[in-house]
Amino acid sequence: DAVRALLKIYGFTDADIVRTLRSAPVILVADPERILRPKLDFFASLGFETHKLATEPLLLARSLDKHLVPAIQFLRGIIGSDDDLRRAFHRVPRGLAVDLDNNMRPAVEALRRGGLTEADISKLLVIRLGVLLSSPDRISEIFEELKAMGMSVLDPRFLYCFRAMSGVKRDSWLRKMAFYQSFGLSEGELLQAFKTQPTIFLFTDESIKKKVRFLLDELKLGISDVIARPVVLGYSLEKCILPRCAVLTVLMREGRIRRDIKLLQALLGSSRNFETRYVLRHADDVPDVVKAYQGKIKFEGFK
């Protein structure tokens, strides 16, 4: 029909259209030219990607003049550039859906009361526009919780810790704490790890369990060793850790690296650094390292 045809003109894929109309069927009865096209033009002028818009299709049901334009103007005044505004939207499209006067303004005021500078608020909204979904009371609570951990708003890690906490409900946070502690971690170790790598509280229990069990069973690490380098919990087991382990076993087999190498230290680092140090350096003489890195030689344990 006319609505589907219009969405296709603006770059919506068939999957985007299905998702949009399933989540916001009210759009089907909207006038395509008078109601929808001006909103689509507005989003296009901002450079908002249609597949991101499709994840929050109720935005197309919001008033252009009464909500969308005022909300964008408000956010632009805080965030600054349209490039940063676009990045913020693409990360959390739902952040633009909340009410300006009942949610956005009170949330920003709560951030100011907590001691964040305008530059800090701008940065926080860019990395997590979803902060606007939090109530002023919850925002104040997060400030208090981070303060109780010994963190200052001047700490460069503060905004990233705030972002993580704002994405987790209080009861979910406590449950995740208990889950990590079930591995034998102390509260102090866990909170220090959170300060270093705040995203550890955003991973699923199943993902954490698989990685921790692998690191303990295959690398023979202690849980304190793992949590001291919490960045490793953010690595994909299948796409990163296992291929790297396979490379290391090939190099051990060929005598290119010592068998008593510090495995966790060897596994950490960017893909480029790992490739340079362990794959490209040995690719000509030990071609199996390339096959291992590509997953063609599976990791079967450190023997």
Portion of the chain with pLDDT greater than 70, in percent:
100
Amino acid letter, residue 166: S
pLDDT digits 0-9 by tens, 28-77: 999 999 999 999 999 999 999 999 999 999 999 999 999 999 999 999 99
pLDDT of the residue at 17: 94
165's CB contacts (< 8 A; 6+ apart) are 142, 145, 146, 173, 198, 201
Q: How confident is the model at residue 1 (pLDDT cuts 50, 70, 90)?
A: confident
pLDDT of the residue at 303: 75
d(CA 115, CA 24) in angstroms, rounded, equals 38
d(CA 180, CA 255) in angstroms, rounded, equals 37
Through-space distance between the first and last CA atoms of the chain, rounded to whole angstroms? 63
pLDDT of the residue at 142: 96
pLDDT digits 0-9 by tens, 110-160: 999 999 999 999 999 999 999 999 999 999 999 999 999 999 999 999 999
CA separation (Å) from 98 to 58, 136, 168, 222? 11, 14, 18, 45
Per the model's pLDDT, the better-predicted residue between 219 and 292 turns out to be 292
pLDDT digits 0-9 by tens, 194-252: 999 999 999 999 999 999 999 999 889 999 999 999 999 999 999 999 999 999 999 99
Q: How confident is the model at residue 302 (pLDDT cuts 50, 70, 90)?
A: confident
Q: What are the structural domains of the chain?
A: 2-166 (1.25.70.10)
Grouping H, G, I as helix, E, B as strand and the rest as coil, residue 252 is helix
pLDDT of the residue at 154: 96
Asked whether residue 259 carries a pLDDT value surpassing 80, the answer given is yes
pLDDT of the residue at 280: 96
27's CB contacts (< 8 A; 6+ apart) are 3, 20, 21, 36, 57, 60, 61
Measured CA angle at 300 (ends 298, 302), to 5 deg: 125
Neighbours of 65 (CB within 10 A): 8
